[in-house]
Amino acid sequence: MNTRSLLLRDAQFGIALAFLAMSGLLQAQQPVQQSAAPASVITFTLDFPESNPSHYSISVDSAGHATYEGQVKIEDSPEEQSYKTEFEMSAGNRDRVFDWAKQSHYFSGKIDSGKNVAFTGDKTLSYRDGQLSNTARYNYSTVVPVQRLTTLFQSAASTLEYGRRLAYYHHYQKLALDEELKRMQEQARDNELSEIQSVAPVLRQIVDDTSVINMVRGRAKELIQMGEIEAAGK
């Protein structure tokens, strides 16, 4: 083999090595795609046949996205209807919910007090993620984090039920709005409601409706502001 052939062969070999090296470098630079971990979800459920709603649940995931579902009786209707809405839980309450669940060992054991106390509804707390799936039922619990979770979820449910009724009254019975908003204001001032920002859309619809009397629109506007303050402070 002459000198020219040897040089050509060496050049081709060098190019091949460079190509292989570059290919390896590019492969090393490719990000390793990993499947996203399943979101953690906490759900509170209440079944209380004597109340309205007779059944509801609130689920919130670790990002704060929440879903409320209930079985409610609508005025002038003997039958219950399903109601569902979604909202973003305030960051402070989301963190509290997951912290209290952790303090409660993610509901892995018995949380009912076992005491003979008045029935206030069949309650369930559940937690699930990619590894755990726990559910615990109770009527009354002496576990402090469970008590706090119960209070928060029930106060949020009360707010969401106000939102449902306000939407109904705004559409079908505007004269009922004033009394409903007055009650909502009183409960909000007494810190008996949480997640008021979750019903801001229907409150804004009332504020923007010039066919609604100014007093009613004023109440709705105040509640929007209370919800904003509450969410910002948590």
What string of pLDDT tens digits covers the 234 residues of the chain? 544 444 334 444 444 434 334 344 334 444 545 556 668 999 999 999 988 899 999 999 999 999 999 998 877 677 888 999 999 999 999 999 999 999 999 999 999 999 989 999 999 999 999 899 999 999 999 999 999 999 999 999 999 999 999 999 999 999 999 999 999 999 999 999 999 999 999 999 999 999 999 999 999 999 999 999 988 875
- Considering the domain boundaries, does residue 7 fall inside one? no
Residue 122 lies in a domain: yes
Cα dihedral 76/199/170/188 (nearest 10): 90
What pLDDT, on a 0 to 100 scale, did the predictor assign at position 230? 87
pLDDT of residue 188: 97
Please check whether residue 192 is in contact with residue 230, taking contact to mean a CB–CB distance below 8 angstroms. no
* Residue 105 structural domain: 41-232
> What is the rounded CA–CA span in Å between residue 176 and residue 2?
103
Listed residue (137, 165, 158) closest to 58, CA to CA = 158
Domain assignment present for residue 6? The answer is: no
CA-wise closest residue to 198 among 90, 83, 64? 90
Beta strands (DSSP E) in 112-207 are: 122-128, 133-138
Length of the chain: 234
Q: Is 200 helix (H, G, I), strand (E, B) or coil?
A: helix
pLDDT number for residue 34: 52
In a domain, 3, yes or no: no
Going from the C-alpha of 61 to that of each of 108, 115, 205, the distances in angstroms are 18, 31, 28
Chain CA centroid to CA 155, Å: 13
State pTM to two decimals.
0.82
Amino acid in the structure at residue 121 = G
| DSSP letters for 14-74 | HHHHHHHHHHHHHHHHS----PPPPPPEEEEEEE-TTSSSSEEEEEEETT-EEEEEEEEEP
The total of structural domains in the chain comes to 1
User: Is 1 domain-assigned?
Assistant: no
Cα 16–21–27 angle (5° rounding)?
125
Using the Cα atoms of residue 195, residue 199, residue 201 and residue 206 in order, give the sign of their dihedral: negative
Cβ atoms of 39 and 62 within 8 Å: the answer is: yes
Residue keyed to tokens 């009254």: 169
Q: Indicate whether 54 belongs to any domain.
A: yes
Domain membership of residue 20 (yes or no) is: no
pLDDT tens per residue across span 35-52: 566 689 999 999 999 888
The Cα 214–Cα 207 span in angstroms is 9
- The answer to whether residue 47 is domain-embedded is yes
